Amino acid sequence: MNVLVTGNLGYIGSVLTPLLEDSKYSVTGFDSGYFRDCTLVTTRNAYMQIIKDIRDVSITDLIGIDVVIHLAALSNDPVGEIDPILTNSINFEATVTLANLARCAGVERFIYASTQSMYGISDSNEELDEYASKKNPITAYAKSKWLAEQEIFKLSNDNFHVMAFRFATVFGVSPRLRSDIVFNNLMANAFLYKEIRINSDGTPWRPIIHVQDACKAILAGIIAPTQTVSGKAFNVGYKSGNYTVLQLAQNILELLPDCKLSLNNEQLTDNRSYRVSFNRIYSELPEYFHPTWTLSTGALELKNFFEKLELTSEILLGEKCIRMKKLQQLQALGTLDKELRTI
């Protein structure tokens, strides 16, 4: 089976592609190359690689492909706010174009990496499910992902099976690590400064999922029967995977008890808060989705990774691990223009 992975040179893609190869799929990577040099450890590069902006995808890129896994995007809320129009162009318009071309090319499955950021701020005490719960996207990133979901599901039919996996906040080790996502960032500061810094009162809710378990959900989308996944969205996380930011910090304190915990509600930078239900994926894909990580094992993995590589603040909090800084560096070097196109 031939699988094309967009965004394969990113944080999740760098974990997913080896998993697909180990599962005996023929992999083609499709990536702009923004972050290809952000590796902290050696990566496998045995598969075919297309270096191309997702906005320039053509039908010839998709001929002979059975499954498209679409990860490519301006990939979190701070990056998405650089230019909301640009974010919409990449995350919404290019996604819809890709899905249309994939259907025309005879692709059988289109697996969309979506986000729980679309739930935004919830004042409900109930866990939010995929369809009945209100969507309240508050950032350009979340809005673009929600709009894209709605449009590409319209393309799903008996021959073209669209599904979306709405990932909780991802954490854990990747060859192209990110330290600009909540748990990885808390761990990085704990490791570097022996301080866990929270720019809130710690009460916002953040569901989480380890990067390897996120990839296992994608693999489930490939192998599950079409009637089980076609035309459906799945929240991806753990059965008991809703945590407040303070609970995330307390988990780190159990591993690194000599750290100081700092709360600063006056500098609140992210007011999202939502608790999510994961009943659907566990009830409908029990034979195919088998997560194995926990917050505690993921925290230990990060600690060991930081120690083994002797990572410094220049690396963990620099352009290799913070996507906004990398894009700004490429623009300063003159290799990217203001629309994030390679010069």
- Pair 40, 319: CB distance under 8 Å: no
pLDDT for the residue 77: 58
Cβ contacts of 181-188, under 8 Å, gap ≥ 24:
181/76, 182/206, 182/208, 182/245, 182/248, 183/208, 183/248, 183/295, 183/298, 183/299, 184/302, 186/248, 186/249, 186/252, 187/252, 187/299, 187/302, 187/303, 187/306, 188/306, 188/316, 188/317, 188/321
Least confident stretch, 77-86, 127-136, 263-272:
263-272
Which amino acid is present at 274?
Answer: Y
**Domain coordinates in residue numbering, the chain:** 2-332
- Token pair for residue 42? 């050696």
Give the model confidence (pLDDT) of 101-153 as tens digits: 999 999 999 999 999 999 988 766 789 999 999 999 988 999 999 999 999 99
Q: What crossing angle do the helices spanning 211-223 and 13-22 adopt, rounded to 10°?
A: 50
Average pLDDT, the chain: 94
Question: Quick check: 15 pLDDT over 70?
Answer: yes
Q: Which two tokens stand for residue 36?
A: 């290809």
Question: How would you class 216 by CB atoms within 10 Å of its CB: exposed for 0-12, middle for 13-18, buried for 19 or more?
Answer: buried
Beta strand 161-167 with 109-115 is parallel
Buried b (16+ CB within 10 A) or exposed e, 286-315: eebbebebbbeebbebbbebbeeeebeeeb
> What share of the chain has pLDDT > 70, as a percent?
96
Among 230, 194, 234, CA closest to 214 = 234
Strand 232-236, strand 195-198: pairing: unpaired
**CATH assignment of 2-332, given 1.10.10.10, 3.40.640.10, 3.30.2350.10, 3.40.50.720?**
3.40.50.720
CA distance 189 to 186: 5
> 82-106: per-residue pLDDT in tens?
788 999 999 999 999 999 999 999 9
Q: Using an 8 Å Cβ cutoff, are 244 and 273 in contact?
A: no
Res 273: pLDDT: 83
Band of the pLDDT at 267, cuts 50, 70, 90?
low
